[in-house]
Amino acid sequence: MAATSLFSCSMHTEMLAPKTLKGSDVLCCPKSNFLSMKKSSKLEQMKTILQTDGIHSNALKVERAPYFSVGQKFQLDDVIEAQQFDRDILNAIFEVAQEMESIEKNSPGSQILKGYLMATLFYEPSTRTRLSFESAMKRLGGEVLTTENAREFSSAAKGETLEDTIRTVEGYSDIIVMRHFESGAARRAAVTAGIPIINAGDGPGQHPTQALLDVYTIQREIGKLDSIKVGLVGDLANGRTVRSLAYLLAKYKDVKIYFVAPDVVKMKDDIKEYLTSKGVKWEESADLMEVASECDVVYQTRIQKERFGERVDLYEKARGKYIVNKDVLKVMQTHAVVMHPLPRLDEITVDVDADPRAAYFRQAKNGLYIRMALLKLLLVGW
C-alpha cells in the first residue's frame, strides 16, 4: 500500500507506522490491515538506524513536545536501543514509572493491561529482567507466556530461525520481550514482528531497559542527571548495560564518565567516539580509589566469564582486579551511590550492602516500575 494510504488512516503525523491499541479509537486502521505496512515501515526505520548519526535510530524519531497527552499513542513501536530516547521522552517515562510505583503499592488489582498477553522469549539466563517484566505485566492485569531457556528448550534447538520464531510467537501474544545471545538480534526481531518488541539484552550489544532503570535510579538517588560524574567499572567490553547507560548519559549536560576496566575488557572505541561526538567528557583510569572519590555514581559490573569462550586465562586475568569494598566506601562522597546491574560475584563485597550508599537492590526494584511503564506505554499509550 502506498505511503499516503498508510498516513491517511492515522490520526497522528508521527514518522513511525502506527499500531492498533486495544480498546482505543486512536487509530482507524484495523490491526490486520496494516501489519504488512508496519513491517515495511520498520524495515525503513532500521535502515535509518545505520544511516543517521552513525548508529542513531529513527525508531526513533520522537516529536519534541512539552508534554504527552493522556491517550496519545506512544512515540515508539519497539524498544531496541538507548539511542531511541531523548530527554523529553525520558522525563515522561520516568513520570509514568512514578505512577506505576503508586499502583504497585496502592492499587494491587490494577486492570490497565487486562486482556493483553506478553511473551518472554529468553535465549540467555535471566533472573531480574525476566521476572520483573513478568511481575510488571501481572501487576497491571495482563497475562504472561514464558520460555526461560529458548536456546535449548524451543525450536531454536532444532534449527528454527529467529525470524520464524518471532512470526510464530507474535500470533500468540501482544508484545514480545526478548533476550538473545547475538548482538543485533533484537533489531532483526523488530523488523520481522507486527507487534512491539522489547530488547531485554542482545549479547554484548545493548540492554536499553536496564539503562532506563539505571538513569531513573540515578535521578532518584542523586536528585539530578545534569552535572554528574559516573564511574563505569569492570567488564566494559562485554557489558551491554554500560554501553546502553553511556548512550543515555550523553543526553544530559556537563556529564563526565570515567572508565575503569582491566586491559582485556576496556570500553570499546565506538562508545568513546560517540561520547566525544556528543561533547561528553570521558577519561580512562586504572585507579578505582581516585575515581570513586570523584564520582556521584560508582557503577560496578561483573567480569562476564560466558563472553570469554575458551580463553579462561583472560578471564582469570581480568577477574578480581577492581573490587568495591569498605575501603572504596571510605573515599566516596556521602551523597554518592554504588550501583550494579546484578548478578554480582565478588566484585562488590557483601559488607558493602549495609551502607546506605549501596543502591543496587533499590536499583533492581526500580526495574519493576520502569518495565510497568514501558508495557503500559507500548500497549495502551500515554
DSSP letter at 155? Answer: G
| Active-site pick, 4, 13, 64, 158 | 158
Residue 165 falls in the annotated catalytic set: no
- The Cα 374–Cα 378 span in angstroms is 6
Closest CA to 244 of 221, 267, 220: 267
- 233 close to 260: Cβ distance less than 8 angstroms: yes
Q: Which residue's entry shows cell 564518565? A: 257
* 64: annotated active-site residue: no
Please, which residues have CB within 8 angstroms of residue 266's CB and are 6 or more apart in sequence?
Answer: 236, 237, 259, 284
Cell numbers for 182, please give them: 547475538
Q: Which of 20, 129, 241, 301 is catalytic?
A: 129
**Does 207 participate in catalysis according to the annotation?**
yes
List 38, 180, 207, 240, catalytic entry:
207
Residue with cell 525503513: 44
Residue (of 221, 222, 270, 227) closest to 246 by Cα position: 270
Catalytic residue among 128, 272, 278, 344: 128
What stretches of the chain show up as alpha helix (H) in DSSP? 3-8, 31-51, 87-106, 128-139, 150-153, 162-169, 185-192, 208-222, 240-249, 269-277, 288-294, 312-318, 326-331, 360-380
Contact of 370 with 208, CB cutoff 8 Å: no
Exactly one of 42, 73, 179, 340 is catalytic; name it: 179
179 given a catalytic annotation: yes
Instruction: Copy the grid coordinates of residue 3.
Output: 505511503
Name the β-bridge partners of 248.
none
Q: Is 105 a catalytic site residue?
A: no
Buried b (16+ CB within 10 A) or exposed e, 56-69: bbbbbbbeeeeebe
Contact at 8 Å (CB) between 380 and 21? yes
C-alpha to C-alpha distance for 144 and 25, rounded to whole angstroms: 25
**Active centre residues (catalytic):** 128-129, 158, 179, 207
